[in-house]
Structure 1
Amino acid sequence: MHNIIITSPSLDPKQNVSGISSVTQFIIQNNKNTQYIHFELGKKDYERGGIYRIGSIFKCLYLWWKTLSRYPQSIIHYNFPLSKASILRDPLFIGIARIRKHKMVIHLHGGNFLTAPHIPFYLNVFLKKVFALPVPFIVLSELEKRLIQERFNCVNINVLPNCVDLKDAEDFEKEANMHNTLTIGYLGRIAETKGMDYLLDACIQMKKMGIPFHLKLAGKEEVKDKYILAFQKELGDHFIYEGVVFGETKNKFLKSLDVFILPSFFEGLPMSLIECMSYGVVPVTTPVGSISEIINNGENGLFINIRDSQSIIQQFDRLNKDRILLSKLSNQSKEYIIRTFNPIIYIDRLNKIYAKAFRSQY
């Protein structure tokens, strides 16, 4: 196997709470027979965006050229979220790799323009150029494959759902919580688009209604002090902020949860969702992106509406009152993930896509 240059934000969870970074870390750690060169692309959580990023992008383009020059025969594994910033930035990097005649795989990771009903004209121009390339594309679900085919007539699409390391989760036996206060958890970027305003409103109402709960948030705020202080002020003893968790600290956090809440406006296939379910944590989530491909409502999780505090309250109150349902969903969510998301199969399928990229001609 040739060297593979793989792009993502920083792999240090203290610098980036990123699903793409988690996927990249998983691939590097599990694909033992492949030599990866990680190219850091994307701002760190504490860095400013907008015009302040222009200088950094030019510097990054220079480093990208140097890296490609150093590994002229390498395959590029390019991680590409369909967000506005990435659509404007990434075609430059992809174009340089194409000019230098590198073989390439483009791996899509959600973003608000993956499932958006309308894509602005100027962004659509960039996307059409990218999807016209004769390279293998990776998407996270059959739904994403259909969307890309219908919108861009792209034919070389490979479905490869995200995967996680299951060793610790497989050994963990979750005890059914039949009587104690339920703990709700969230893991990831703490941001407006993750539905934090609606989660906060739902928790405030549940507190007033006397519904017992504990809420734990883990991750980093997209905008410093926008949410954590509000959760602490409004919820008091009902709320715990765990900070950024990784490794054994993250495993311990996941084991402490009964319910995983994800009221996002858009997603791909969140690593945090798969991780939580693997520990038997019941997912309560919006059915956005590829989430509905792995969650069967009422069987291994529950759906809530986008931008709807009341549906969060209703589903949590339902689980609080019906512990038999809670236990059933817990068992079913873990069983589904352990059965479906096998790291060995994932890596084998990924290497076949690399082989396809290597055989592709310019």
Structure 2
Amino acid sequence: MKIIVVAPSLDPSKNVSGISSVTKFIISNNKEQEYIHFELGRKDNEEGGIFRIFSILKNMREWKNMLNKERDAIIHYNFPLSKASILRDPLFMGIALQQKRKMVVHIHGGVFLTHYKEASSFLKWILKKVFSWNVPFIVLGENEKNIIEQTLKAKRVFLLPNCVDLQDAESFERVYNWIEPLNIGYIGRIAVTKGMENLLQACRELKAKQIPFIVKLAGAEEVKDSFLPLFDSYLGHQFIYAGIVSGEKKNIFLKSLDVFVLPSYFEGLPMSLLECMSYGAVPVTTNVGSIGDVVEDCKNGLFIKMKDTDSIIEVLTNLNNDRKMLSRLGNEARATIFQNFNPHKYIQNLNAIYGMA
């Protein structure tokens, strides 16, 4: 059957997005369906604010044309619970529902999923309206499922954790770093809400303490020159910016890491987390969104406190000093992904949800 999948640009050079990564994974692995990508969302180099209004109006016209052209297609709508998406996406989904189209809404975290009480009355009203719809909602973890069912009273909620392609990781044999400087990495959007200020400050203090490490960042800055010049200035040769990576270049980047650091303020279930763990990098992350469904503190990763530089310093220092712990946690992280995140099973479950739309 035909599926219209709504997502940002799938070109990593134009948009660094977890939703785009999920969408690319689904399209490349679900050969039973014929996917039609409807691009919706700001590219990394596009202006925001009032300039987006004209772009959204254009998208609205294109959306109506798409629906009229593909009348029998099911809609797979990716919906992150950020302010911008909450204000925009219900309009597009509402048009589809007015036409009595079959639709699946795929929730991808966002600040107002885990911090619903902080939303304005207007945003809460929109969310309650959306989750009152009689459509299947896909969520990434048990915590999200509980929030949507209990707080927003959604009736048809299906748990489908993100999954990653394991073909390259399966053939990779990690040799753990026993004596060289610790390779600390992050891949994704380089932004304040990802905890970059705390990571930068932690790296500065680790350097001052003469703890050997190299920090590697890959991805695009949300605000140009907000962090990369600072990392370069403060860390010098201990900092590497790999740019926007995809394909084999991304695989090489992931293989080079000992530790994946994610001091994020909010998440769904990041594809980058699953990818890094599949290669045996130790996840050092805040316990937000559905991350706790995958990472168990001191078993296959280590939790840090949100907006807490000291906890990042403590955990990275311990990993540097105890390379046996680094090896043990990395092996457990890798095993977690291979035991619990099977691409074939993911696609089977997704197709079953399509059947209930």
TM-score range, shorter chain: over 0.9
Q: Partner of 2:22 in structure 1?
A: 23
Q: Is 1:205 the equivalent of 2:232?
A: no
CA displacement 1:193-215 (0-9 Å, x = unmatched) = 00000100000001001111000
CA displacement 1:175-207 (0-9 Å, x = unmatched) = 021111110000000001000001000000010
Q: Partner of 2:105 in structure 1?
A: 106
Q: Partner of 2:139 in structure 1?
A: 139
CA displacement 1:15-52 (0-9 Å, x = unmatched) = 00000000000000000110000000001001011111
CA displacement 1:102-155 (0-9 Å, x = unmatched) = 100000001100000432100011111110100000000111000011111111
Q: Partner of 1:221 in structure 2?
A: 221
AA matched with 2:82: S
Q: Partner of 2:182 in structure 1?
A: 182
CA displacement 1:288-315 (0-9 Å, x = unmatched) = 1000110110000000000011100000
Q: Partner of 2:149 in structure 1?
A: 149
- Alpha-carbon distance in 1 for matches of 2:145, 2:119: 17
Q: Partner of 2:166 in structure 1?
A: 166
- Alpha-carbon distance in 2 for matches of 1:354, 1:146: 22
Secondary structure class of the residue paired with 1:105: strand
Q: Partner of 1:255 in structure 2?
A: 255
Secondary structure class of the residue paired with 2:356: helix
AA matched with 2:22: V
- Listed as ranges, the matches of 1:120-139 within 5 Å are 120-139=120-139
Q: Is 1:55 the equivalent of 2:54?
A: yes
Q: Partner of 2:240 in structure 1?
A: 240
Query: RMSD across aligned C-alpha pairs, in angstroms?
Result: 0.6
- Alpha-carbon distance in 1 for matches of 2:48, 2:129: 25
AA matched with 2:52: R
Q: Is 1:321 the equivalent of 2:321?
A: yes
Q: Partner of 1:14 in structure 2?
A: 13
- Alpha-carbon distance in 1 for matches of 2:339, 2:173: 16
Q: Partner of 1:191 in structure 2?
A: 191
- Give yes or no for contact 2:78–2:106 (8 Å, CA) kept in 1: yes
- Alpha-carbon distance in 2 for matches of 1:45, 1:295: 29
- Alpha-carbon distance in 2 for matches of 1:204, 1:56: 41
CA displacement at 1:5 relative to structure 2: 0.2
Secondary structure class of the residue paired with 1:6: strand
- Give yes or no for contact 2:259–2:281 (8 Å, CA) kept in 1: yes
Q: Partner of 1:350 in structure 2?
A: 350
CA displacement 1:265-292 (0-9 Å, x = unmatched) = 0000000000000000000000010001
- Give yes or no for contact 2:169–2:279 (8 Å, CA) kept in 1: yes
CA displacement at 1:100 relative to structure 2: 1.3
- Alpha-carbon distance in 2 for matches of 1:209, 1:72: 63
- Give yes or no for contact 2:134–2:155 (8 Å, CA) kept in 1: no
Q: Segments of 4+ in structure 1 off by > 4 A?
A: none
Q: Partner of 2:76 in structure 1?
A: 77
Q: Is 1:296 the equivalent of 2:289?
A: no
Secondary structure class of the residue paired with 2:261: strand
AA matched with 1:266: F
- Alpha-carbon distance in 1 for matches of 2:11, 2:284: 28
AA matched with 2:78: N
- Give ranges in structure 1 of 5+ residues lacking alignment: 358-362
Q: Is 1:340 the equivalent of 2:349?
A: no
Q: Partner of 2:277 in structure 1?
A: 277
AA matched with 1:38: H
- Give yes or no for contact 2:266–2:288 (8 Å, CA) kept in 1: yes
CA displacement at 1:321 relative to structure 2: 0.5
CA displacement at 1:336 relative to structure 2: 0.5
Q: Is 1:88 the equivalent of 2:95?
A: no
- Alpha-carbon distance in 1 for matches of 2:47, 2:118: 28
AA matched with 2:70: Y
Give the TM-score of the pair, scaled to structure 1.
0.98
AA matched with 2:145: K
Percent identical: 58
- Listed as ranges, the matches of 1:31-46 within 5 Å are 31-46=30-45
- Give ranges in structure 2 of 5+ residues lacking alignment: none
- Alpha-carbon distance in 2 for matches of 1:134, 1:204: 51
Secondary structure class of the residue paired with 2:50: helix
AA matched with 2:314: Q
- Alpha-carbon distance in 1 for matches of 2:245, 2:152: 38
- Alpha-carbon distance in 2 for matches of 1:237, 1:118: 41
